[in-house]
Amino acid sequence: MKLFAVVCLLLLLPFVYCKKDTGESNLPTSYLSISDIWPVRDTVNTTIKLIVTVAPVSNKTITVNYTTEEGTAKANIDFVPVAGTLTINPGSVTGEVAVQLIGRKLMSSTQNFSLKLSNAVNATLKVEKATVFIENPGFDYRLVWSDEFTGTTLNTTNWNYETGGGGWGNNELQNYTSGTNNAYIENGNLIIEAKKERIGSNAYSSARLTTKGKRKFTYGKFEIRAKVPATTGLWPAIWMLGENIDQVGWPACGEIDIMEAINKETPSKTYGTAHWGVNPASHLSKGGYYVLPSGHYSDDYHVFTVEWDANSIQWFFDGNKFYTVNKGEITGGNNPFNGDFFLILNVAVGGNWPGSPDANSIFPQKMVVDYVRIYQK
């Protein structure tokens, strides 16, 4: 019997030894992250490197697939597209993916493309996409701030929730909420969702986000790529107010509407407007509108832009200028357009301008914001 036990033990020893020698440990799961970069393009081809970070370090070989995705920068025109598998050896804290920028000098704004990670082995993806912002020498503007909405939650170092009902001065019907009921991040986009649901005494809910007290700007190029919702009674808007509104009130603080869509008129029409005046009784405004040649704004993403300096405010739709207010046209006692302004993104329901939803209105409705980018000279 003793001899049998000894033989069994001897037979098991190789398996015990192999198990011990595999190098397995109780290290926690490793996470992969990739960061945005801002390279400057020259007239010659330049190779850039995007860094993939491992934390905590792993004792296993990690692999992850990668591929480039076009943005305003185009494959084989602005950069050489790449796709493949990155291998990160045990104990390494980073890996690199090289991409070549195609050399040329452009009189154009900052361009962008992305590198996306997928199918990680022996690690979990934490930040799966990085944006490459190509700075083009010779262009008047430089990117000074952006929110690409690449995380999993709204970045509250940039944005505030403004909450409540009460009509918001326009007899609106929604109650603005905080949290993820009406504003959330999904697939690299900010979603502001208007719902038909009772919140307090209001029959609808939505969200209104501002950068007040956190991000403010005097002059610049304000560029927002978004898909605008469309249904009767909806009032989506991308706009700005003077940072001093609490001291001087509206409209003395000034207002710049980058985009307003009033769906009772047509879902293919958006407005750009400047508002000012010493007090509400002396309110003045100038603005214009853009109408799509075909289709609706809700069909696809579009880029809404304002270029604002000491001499004028100009509105653009997908790069096409459609209205200008010059400094000499801002008369009537005050000119608030020489100070700091903050951004607002919201979807209102009802109100004096769009009117109320009707039996044909469809809810919920979403405004999908791909990015907000601010450039200055």
Cβ neighbours for 64, distance < 8 A, ≥ 6 positions apart: 32, 52, 85, 86, 88, 95, 117, 118, 119, 120, 121, 123, 125
What value, to the nearest 5°, has the Cα angle with vertex 293 and ends 358 and 74?
Answer: 115
- Catalytic site residues? 255, 260
DSSP three-state, residue 327:
helix
3-state percent breakdown (helix, strand, coil) of the chain, nearest 5: 10, 45, 45
Place of tokens 């109780």: 26
Check: CB of residue 61 under 8 Å from CB of residue 87.
yes
Six-digit token string for 167: 């009509």
State how far the Cα of 174 lies from the Cα of 351, in Å rounded to an integer.
9
pTM for the whole thing?
0.68
d(CA 162, CA 103): 45
**Interatomic CA distance for residues 352 and 171, integer angstroms:** 6
Print pLDDT tens along the chain (377 aa).
Answer: 444 444 444 444 444 444 444 444 556 799 999 999 989 877 678 899 999 999 999 999 999 999 999 988 888 878 999 999 999 999 999 999 999 998 765 545 678 899 999 999 999 999 999 999 988 766 677 788 999 998 899 999 999 999 999 999 999 999 999 999 999 999 999 999 999 999 999 999 999 999 999 999 999 999 999 999 989 999 999 999 999 999 999 999 999 999 999 876 666 789 999 999 999 999 999 999 999 888 888 888 999 999 999 999 999 998 889 999 999 999 987 899 999 999 999 999 999 988 999 999 999 999 999 999 998 88
Give the closest residue to 153 by CA, choosing from 179, 124, 176, 118: 179
Taking alpha carbons only, the member of 226, 30, 35, 31 closest to residue 115 is 35
| Burial of 164: CB neighbours in 10 Å, binned 0-12, 13-18, 19+ | middle
- Token pair belonging to 299: 């069909």
Q: Give dist(CA 233, CA 284) in Å, integer.
A: 25
Least Cα distance to 266 among 239, 297, 241, 243 occurs for 297
Residue 216's pLDDT is 97
User: How confident is the model at residue 266, as a pLDDT?
Assistant: 64
DSSP conformation letters of 194-248: EB---BTTBSEEE-EEE-TTT--BSSEEEEEEEE----TTEEEEEEEEETTHHHH
Task: Please state whether beta strands 320-326 and 341-349 pair in parallel, antiparallel, or not at all (unpaired).
Answer: unpaired
How far, rounded to the nearest angstrom, does the alpha carbon of residue 277 sit from its chain's CA centroid?
A: 32
